[in-house]
Amino acid sequence: MPEFNAIRQIRRKAVVLAVIGILVSSLLVAVVTAIPMYQSAREALERSTLVGVQAQGTALDNLVQRYEGVARQVTARTEIRHRLKRYDEGEVSLDALVAFTAPRLGEALASEPALVGIKRLGPMGETIVELGVSGESPDLARLADLTGIESRLVGFDGGVIWRTIIPILDDFGLRLGTDVMYFEVGNLKDLLKRARTLEPSSAQGFLIDRQGERLVGID
């Protein structure tokens, strides 16, 4: 009988070892299989996120370019630009210039829903016409050095608004004045909110101006 008991114990140990071996083998197989699957899923998610972010970035850039296109069209209006030149040359009084310019800029303001404010400045930075809302004003000392269009978010009524500054030039490229235009940021916020869904842990959306000099948050 002792021999029989010894055989039974050996068999039990063999069964236990076999079961342990099977479990260990199964675990190793699961780990070896899971790691590539995890890496593949992670890479797919990263690619999807990157594509989404790039698409949102393109849409955002297109929107900013549209705003700047509107600003260029307003500034390029020939009649009021020529009238500003005559004012600069002393041929037209300020009152006459305002009377001629205000209704025409008002038409531009009414024709573009995203455009919510226009301020036209004269050659010395003086305000000629101001229509609609007005956000943070540009530093007049910088206007003389402004050679191209400048766009960025600025403060407005406890929030932000999109401001585009563009020089007014005559037919020979000489500076006549400056247009400052303000655009609503609802569309920008919508784009940032959609982009934020790609990264749920992000609590806030951000915009950086094209020179990378300023980071502005949109709640």
Of residues 78 and 37, more confidence is placed in 78
pLDDT digits (tens, 9 = 90+) for 88-146: 999 999 999 999 999 999 999 999 988 999 999 998 889 999 999 887 778 777 777 78
Q: Please give the average per-residue pLDDT across 159-167, as a whole number.
A: 88
pLDDT digits (tens, 9 = 90+) for 171-204: 888 889 999 999 988 766 666 665 555 444 443 4
What is the model's pTM?
A: 0.65
pLDDT digits (tens, 9 = 90+) for 29-63: 666 676 666 566 565 555 554 444 555 667 677 77
State residue 188's pLDDT score.
Answer: 66
* C-alpha span between 198 and 53 (Å, rounded): 8
Q: What is the DSSP letter of 91?
A: S
Count of structural domains, the chain = 1
Q: Return mean pLDDT, the chain.
A: 75
Give the pLDDT band of residue 1 (cuts 50, 70, 90): low
Q: What is the DSSP letter of 199?
A: S
Judge whether residue 218 has pLDDT over 50: no
Question: Which residues are CB-neighbours of 169 under 8 A, at least 6 positions away?
Answer: 175, 176
* C-alpha span between 87 and 176 (Å, rounded): 9
State residue 36's pLDDT score.
Answer: 67
Domain that holds residue 114: 1-219
* C-alpha span between 159 and 184 (Å, rounded): 11
Q: What is the CATH number of the domain that holds 17?
A: 3.30.450.20
State residue 72's pLDDT score.
Answer: 92
Q: What backbone phi and psi angles, to 5 degrees, belong to 153?
A: -80, 140
Q: 103, 110, 107, 105: which is closest to 121 by C-alpha? A: 105
- Integer angstrom CA distances of residue 218 from 19, 159, 160, 185: 59, 8, 8, 9
Q: Please give the average per-residue pLDDT across 193-219, as a whole number.
A: 45
